C-alpha cells in the first residue's frame, strides 16, 4: 500500500508543472481573442468611416457631374445662338445688297426721267414759238398749197403721237420709281427688324454666358477639383469673359451705328422730300404746259398714312395669382424674416412690359436669374423703372431697345434664387424700391 501511495504522489509531483502551464496558456488565449475582437471592431469602425468617405466623395462626384452637364448644355445653347447670329448677319448682308440694287435702279430711272422731261420742255418751247401750227385753221390759211398744208398737218400729227408715247412712258417710269422706292422702304424695315433681332440674339449670348460663368464658379467652389481640372475651367472662364467683352463691345458699336444711320437717314429723307417736291413741281408745270398744247394728261395723288400712338398707364405684366405681396415675410430659401421688395406672380407664360419705355438691362445674375429692367422715364416728377426677374433663357429684348406696353420681354421661369416658376416684379422711384401697388391695380 505504501508503494502505491508513493507512486501516486510521485506522479502528481511530476504532472504539477504541466497543470500550471495550461492555465497560463488559457489566460493568454483569452487576451489574444479579446485583442482580436478589439482589432476587428476597430477595423469595422475604420471601414465604416471609409464607407462614409466614399459616400461623401460619390455625392461630390455626382454634384460635379450634374454641374458639368449643365455647363455643357449651356455651351450648346450658346453655340446655337452663335450659329443663328451668323445666319442673321448673312441675311442682313443680302437685304442691304438688295437695297443697293434697288437704289441704283431708282437713280437710273431718275436720269431717264430728267432727260425725257428736258426733251418735252424743248418741244414745248418750239411749239410756243410756232403756236399757229396747233391751230388747224391757221395751218390751212397759211399753207401755200394743198401739198404744203397736208405736210404740215402730217408733221404735227407725228409730233403729237410721238409725244403721247413719251408722256405714257414718262408716267410708267415715274410709277416704277415710286414702286421701287416703296420696295426699298419695305426692305429697310426688314433690315431694321433683323438688326434688332441680331442685337437681341447677341444680348442673349452675353446673358447665357453670364449664367455659364456662374455655373463654373459653383463647380470651382463646391467640388474638390484637381489642379488640372481647375486650370481648365479657369481657362474656359477666361475665354468666356473675353468673348463676353468682345460681344458687349460689338453691341455698343452696333447701337452707335444704328443711331448714326437713323440720323443720316432722317437727314437724307428730308433732303429727298425737298428735292422731289421741287422736281415734281417743275415736272408738273412742264407737263401741264405740254398737255395744254398737245395732249391731255391726268394727275393722280397717293394718299399718305398717318400713324398714331396712345400712351396708357401700367398694365398687368403676367398672368397668374399673386403668391407673395410687397412687405415683410419669411424668405423661402434663407428662412429669415425680412422685407420682400416686390410682388410675386405664380403661374406660367409670357412676361410683358407694364408700360412703354427703354430697356436698360437684359441679362443674367445668380440672384435674379434672367431679368430685365425697363426705364419708363419721368412720371409725376419721378424717374420710374420696373424690374422683371426669374425668366427663362432666351430674352426677347436687349438694352437700348424701346418697348411698348404689352410687348413681350421673356417667359416666366425659375432661374436664379427661386423655388418655383414665377415672376418677381419690382418698381423703382429715383432708384429706390417702392410698393408696386402705387402704379398697379392688381
pLDDT tens for 151-190 read: 655 554 555 565 677 778 878 888 988 998 898 899 889 8
For residues 238 and 366, state if they share a domain.
Answer: no
For residues 382 and 434, state if they share a domain.
Answer: yes
Q: How far apart are CA 368 and CA 387, in angstroms?
A: 10
Going by their DSSP bridges, the two strands 327-330 and 337-340 should be labelled as: antiparallel
For residues 190 and 332, state if they share a domain.
Answer: no
Question: For residue 118, which of 272, 286, 280, 278 has the smallest C-alpha distance?
Answer: 286
DSSP characters over 197-259: HHHHHHHHHHHHHHHHHHHHHHHHHHS---HHHHHHHHHHHHHHHHHHHHHHHHHHHHHHHHH
Residue 79 has pLDDT above 50, yes or no: yes
For residues 128 and 233, state if they share a domain.
Answer: yes
Question: To 10 degrees, what angle do helices 2-129 and 146-222 make?
Answer: 160
Question: To 10 degrees, what angle do helices 227-293 and 2-129 make?
Answer: 20
For residues 125 and 262, state if they share a domain.
Answer: yes
Q: From residue 370, how far is each of 166, 218, 351, 393 by CA, in Å? A: 64, 17, 12, 6
For residues 43 and 134, state if they share a domain.
Answer: no
pLDDT band at 88; cut points 50, 70, 90 = confident
pLDDT, one tens digit per residue, over 246-276 is: 776 676 767 667 767 778 888 888 888 888 8
Backbone angles phi, psi at 157, to 5 degrees: -60, -45
Last residue of a domain, one of 277, 293, 309: 293
pLDDT, one tens digit per residue, over 115-130 is: 888 877 776 666 555 5
Last residue of a domain, one of 278, 293, 308: 293
CB 161 within 8 A of CB 66: no
For residues 31 and 99, state if they share a domain.
Answer: no
For residues 355 and 239, state if they share a domain.
Answer: no
Question: For residue 359, which of 381, 379, 388 has the smallest C-alpha distance?
Answer: 388
For residues 278 and 332, state if they share a domain.
Answer: no
Q: How far apart are CA 360 and CA 353, in angstroms?
A: 13
For residues 400 and 252, state if they share a domain.
Answer: no
Residue 71 lies in a domain: no
C-alpha cell at 218: 459653383
- Which span out of 40-54, 198-212, 422-436 was modeled with the highest average pLDDT? 422-436
Residue 87 lies in a domain: no
Residue 392 lies in a domain: yes
| Overall number of domains in the chain | 3
C-alpha cell at 6: 508513493
Residue 66 lies in a domain: no
For residues 152 and 230, state if they share a domain.
Answer: yes
Q: How far apart are CA 16 and CA 55, in angstroms?
A: 59
Q: How far apart are CA 389 and CA 410, in angstroms?
A: 10
pLDDT of residue 53: 67
For residues 18 and 126, state if they share a domain.
Answer: no
pLDDT band at 323; cut points 50, 70, 90 = very high
Calculate the average pLDDT of the chain. 78
pLDDT of residue 388: 98
pLDDT of residue 424: 97
| Structural domain harbouring 39 | 1-50
- Which span out of 202-206, 229-233, 323-327, 396-400 was modeled with the highest average pLDDT? 396-400
Terminal-residue alpha carbon distance, the chain: 124
Q: What is the mean pLDDT of residues 57-62?
A: 74
Q: From residue 94, how far is each of 105, 191, 393 by CA, in Å? A: 17, 10, 29
Residue 73 lies in a domain: no
Residue 313 lies in a domain: no
C-alpha cell at 206: 452675353
pLDDT of residue 43: 80
pLDDT band at 214; cut points 50, 70, 90 = confident
pLDDT of residue 153: 57
pLDDT, one tens digit per residue, over 409-419 is: 999 999 999 99
Domain at 426, CATH number: 2.70.70.10
Residue 341 lies in a domain: yes
- Give residues with Cβ within 8 angstroms of 115, minimum separation 6: none
Q: What is the mean pLDDT of residues 289-304?
A: 42
Higher pLDDT, 24 or 150: 150
CB 415 within 8 A of CB 370: yes
Q: What is the pTM of this model?
A: 0.51
Q: What is the mean pLDDT of residues 346-353?
A: 96
Amino acid at each position: 500500500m505504501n508503494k502505491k501511495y508513493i507512486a501516486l504522489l510521485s506522479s502528481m509531483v511530476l504532472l504539477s508543472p504541466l497543470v500550471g502551464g495550461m492555465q497560463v496558456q488559457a489566460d493568454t488565449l483569452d487576451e489574444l481573442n479579446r485583442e482580436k475582437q478589439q482589432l476587428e471592431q476597430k477595423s469595422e469602425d475604420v471601414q465604416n468611416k471609409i464607407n462614409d468617405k466614399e459616400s461623401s466623395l460619390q455625392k461630390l462626384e455626382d454634384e460635379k457631374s450634374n454641374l458639368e452637364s449643365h455647363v455643357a448644355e449651356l455651351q450648346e445653347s450658346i453655340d446655337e445662338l452663335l450659329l443663328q447670329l451668323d445666319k442673321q448677319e448673312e441675311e442682313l448682308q443680302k437685304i442691304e445688297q438688295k437695297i443697293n440694287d434697288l437704289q441704283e435702279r431708282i437713280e437710273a430711272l431718275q436720269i431717264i426721267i430728267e432727260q425725257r422731261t428736258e426733251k418735252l420742255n424743248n418741244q414745248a418751247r418750239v411749239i410756243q414759238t410756232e403756236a399757229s401750227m396747233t391751230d388747224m385753221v391757221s395751218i390751212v390759211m397759211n399753207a401755200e398749197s394743198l401739198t404744203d398744208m397736208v405736210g404740215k398737218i402730217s408733221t404735227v400729227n407725228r409730233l403729237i403721237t410721238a409725244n403721247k408715247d413719251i408722256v405714257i412712258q414718262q408716267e410708267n417710269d415715274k410709277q416704277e420709281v415710286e414702286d421701287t422706292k416703296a420696295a426699298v422702304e419695305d426692305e429697310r424695315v426688314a433690315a431694321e427688324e433683323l438688326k434688332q433681332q441680331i442685337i437681341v440674339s447677341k444680348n442673349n449670348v452675353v446673358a447665357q454666358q453670364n449664367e455659364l460663368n456662374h455655373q463654373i464658379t459653383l463647380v470651382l467652389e463646391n467640388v474638390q477639383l484637381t489642379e488640372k481640372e481647375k486650370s481648365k475651367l479657369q481657362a474656359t472662364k477666361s475665354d468666356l469673359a473675353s468673348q463676353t467683352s468682345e460681344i458687349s463691345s460689338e453691341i455698343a458699336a452696333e447701337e452707335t451705328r444704328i443711331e448714326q444711320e437713323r440720323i443720316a437717314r432722317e437727314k437724307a429723307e428730308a433732303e429727298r422730300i425737298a428735292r422731289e417736291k421741287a422736281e415734281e413741281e417743275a415736272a408738273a408745270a412742264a407737263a401741264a404746259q405740254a398737255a395744254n398744247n398737245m395732249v391731255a394728261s391726268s394727275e393722280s395723288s397717293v394718299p399718305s398714312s398717318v400713324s398714331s400712338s396712345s400712351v396708357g398707364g401700367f398694365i398687368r405684366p403676367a398672368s397668374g395669382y399673386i403668391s407673395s405681396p410687397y412687405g415683410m415675410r419669411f424668405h423661402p430659401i434663407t428662412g429669415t424674416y425680412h422685407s420682400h421688395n416686390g410682388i410675386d406672380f405664380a403661374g406660367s407664360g409670357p412676361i410683358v412690359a407694364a408700360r412703354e419705355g427703354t430697356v436698360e438691362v437684359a441679362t443674367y445674375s445668380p440672384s435674379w436669374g434672367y431679368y430685365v429692367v425697363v426705364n419708363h422715364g419721368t412720371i409725376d416728377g419721378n424717374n420710374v423703372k420696373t424690374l422683371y426677374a426669374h425668366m427663362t433663357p432666351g430674352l426677347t429684348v436687349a438694352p437700348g431697345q424701346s418697348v411698348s406696353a404689352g410687348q413681350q420681354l421673356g417667359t416666366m421661369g425659375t432661374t436664379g434664387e427661386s423655388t418655383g416658376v414665377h415672376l418677381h416684379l419690382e418698381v423703382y422711384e429715383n432708384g429706390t424700391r417702392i410698393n408696386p401697388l402705387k402704379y398697379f391695380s392688381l
